Structure 1
Amino acid sequence: MSSALVFGALLGLGVLLALSPLLWPAKAEPGRGRATSSRVADELALAGLAGVPIAVIVIVAALLALLAGAIAHAVFLVPVLTIVATALGAALVPLVIRARATRRRASNRAVWPDVVDHLVSSVRAGMSLPDSIGALAELGPSSTRAAFAVFDDEYRRTGNFGACLDRLKGTLADPVADRILETLRMAREVGGSDVTAVLRGLSGYLREDAALRAEVVARQSWIRNAARLGVAAPWLLLVVLASRPEAIVAYDSAAGAALIIAGVVVTIVAYQAMVALGRLPEERRWFH
């Protein structure tokens, strides 16, 4: 009975620690709390989950954590492995959201020059700026058409260009989109005949930046692959070894628990270091 209570307490503590950043974000400093909330909102928007409440994501993460912990406990009967599996289950949802947001950000980087080119063509054809943006719902790249369609519908209903532009920036959640839209806002509010020249210059810069990033990412892909292989290999070996009863007895001891915990810490630190070596700096959103 005492071992079951200890195991239950450790399991609950692991779930609580894994979900604490999402459960209590308001405990941070005011400025930092707003920045964290903004980053979370941007990640959700890029991942296509802008309308999903944070509470739903927390509940799903908690259910996955309990499921992973239950499976690990049923298979291995080792408390420390159960705790590790519970933490990994809780982290699965944030990792998937971040991966989807990263892929969406990378794919959008290649389409923004086309968006600018369409805007330049529309402005030179005599269309107003709101109509030029709304036309991207049909003429723009397929990955951004839905966001521009929402802008076009809201602008036709409200006629408030600034508010609709702010909502469009929140939907796109991209620093490049912020720069493009703020350029259009300034052109509408203060006027100016050089907006097409500015947009053409921005389009050229975006194409050069996207080509350079693609080349660097291709050359550094081996770093990411090596990091994933280095993380997965020892844990796959652990699963294979844990299939033998004598290995289960060894890992169920104090020394085995210390070895697993040390392995988790080393794995996390090594993976983060490898990813940091291959990560390119991302632009920050200065205009949201």
Structure 2
Amino acid sequence: MTTLLGIALAGGLLLALSPWLWPTGSGRVQRSSAGRAARMLAAAGYGHATPGHLAVVSVVAAAVAGAVVWLVTALPAFAAVAAAAALLAPTAWLRARGRRLLKSRRALWPDVCDLLVASVRSGMSLPDSVAALGEVGPPPLRPAFAAFSGDVAASGHFDSSALRLKERLADPVADRIIEALRMARQVGGTELTTVLRSLSASVRAEATLRAEIEARQSWIRGAAVLGVVAPWVILGLLALRPEGAAAYSSPDGVMVILVGAAVSAVAFRLMIGIGRLPEPRRWFA
């Protein structure tokens, strides 16, 4: 009887604490985090990878970096900082790669619009016009349009193939172009060429303006990277000497390393935030 009463009491306490132990929004938060990771992988050109792959790579990178720094310097605090930096490095690299791909593709979309306008005006259907970009489109974009050609040939359904093409490209301008094509396919109309010409002109003007601004603000990113990396390189060189290792192994030295890591992270984020232009958001992604 005492055992049953204990089990009942434990169950009651567990149910009473369940709103705090397992909040209803935790599943949504995990799903939203996985969705953000999947979108980041797709934007970086690794749409075939999963958030689990990213997590494994991040953990392995953190373990390797922490172990190497521990063996070289024998400083636990320095090894912990290196492991934390390596844990975030794959995510930062994917974001930087996604921005580079977005920047390189920004100058290609006006040509895509012009080619679509020429195909539509020549009498080709919308599926054939988009599929032809796999052969005559800009070389970096041809694989995605070639995959669309095979997809639409296999399924015969333009709308679903266009949605899969949008996921492969993972680009805000591509979203606008594909949504315009889907609308023209579904409801018809004679304004598609006008819309594509206007979109081409606006994208070309935006790309020119952004290139000028980014060229002027590139020194901010360079200063941020140099300002963060240089102190840690000096710290590593000092830690190679016995007296330096002894100084940074003390409680005051550990505090200096941890506070320096926090200040470096905050300063780097501030400098990058100041020097970064807002990127356009994707449509219906």
> TM-score, normalised to structure 1's length?
0.87
Structure 1's 132 and 32: CA in aligned 2 closer, same or farther, altered over 3 A? farther
1:91-140: per-residue Cα shift (whole Å, max 9, x none)?
22112211211111111111111111111110011000111110110111
Distance 1:41 1:119 in 2: 29
Match of 1:193?
190
C-alpha deviation, 1:192, in angstroms: 0.5
Out of 37, 55, 59, the position equivalent to 2:56 is 59
Structure 1's 117 and 193: CA in aligned 2 closer, same or farther, altered over 3 A? same
Structure 1's 157 and 31: CA in aligned 2 closer, same or farther, altered over 3 A? same
Deviates more, 1:220-229 or 1:51-60: 51-60
Structure 1's 38 and 110: CA in aligned 2 closer, same or farther, altered over 3 A? farther
Match of 1:135?
132
Distance 1:234 1:199 in 2: 50
2:123 paired with 1:126: yes
Match of 2:144?
147
Match of 1:21?
none
Structure 1's 182 and 278: CA in aligned 2 closer, same or farther, altered over 3 A? same
Match of 1:273?
270
Distance 2:206 2:252 in 1: 51
Distance 1:37 1:252 in 2: 38
Structure 1's 34 and 118: CA in aligned 2 closer, same or farther, altered over 3 A? farther
Distance 1:119 1:45 in 2: 24
Q: Identical aligned pairs, as a percentage?
A: 48
1:215-243: per-residue Cα shift (whole Å, max 9, x none)?
00000011111111111111111111111
C-alpha deviation, 1:31, in angstroms: 6.3
8 Å Cα contact 2:65-2:86 kept in structure 1:
yes
Once the two structures are superposed, the pairs formed by residues 1-288 of structure 1 within 5 Å of their partners are 35-288=32-285
> Which 5+ residue runs of structure 1 have no aligned equivalent?
1-25
8 Å Cα contact 1:179-1:287 kept in structure 2:
no
SS in 2 for 1:61: helix
Counterpart amino acid of residue 220 in structure 1: Q
8 Å Cα contact 2:69-2:78 kept in structure 1:
yes
Distance 2:186 2:91 in 1: 40
Distance 1:210 1:65 in 2: 37
Distance 2:27 2:65 in 1: 35
Counterpart amino acid of residue 67 in structure 2: A
SS in 2 for 1:189: helix
Structure 1's 27 and 60: CA in aligned 2 closer, same or farther, altered over 3 A? farther
Structure 1's 35 and 122: CA in aligned 2 closer, same or farther, altered over 3 A? farther
Structure 1's 43 and 132: CA in aligned 2 closer, same or farther, altered over 3 A? same
SS in 2 for 1:45: helix
Distance 2:54 2:29 in 1: 21
C-alpha deviation, 1:54, in angstroms: 2.3
The root-mean-square deviation of aligned C-alpha atoms, in Å, is: 1.7
C-alpha deviation, 1:37, in angstroms: 3.5
1:172-200: per-residue Cα shift (whole Å, max 9, x none)?
11111101000011111111111101100
Distance 2:53 2:25 in 1: 22
> Which 5+ residue runs of structure 2 have no aligned equivalent?
1-22
Structure 1's 36 and 118: CA in aligned 2 closer, same or farther, altered over 3 A? farther
SS in 2 for 1:220: helix
Distance 2:205 2:32 in 1: 30
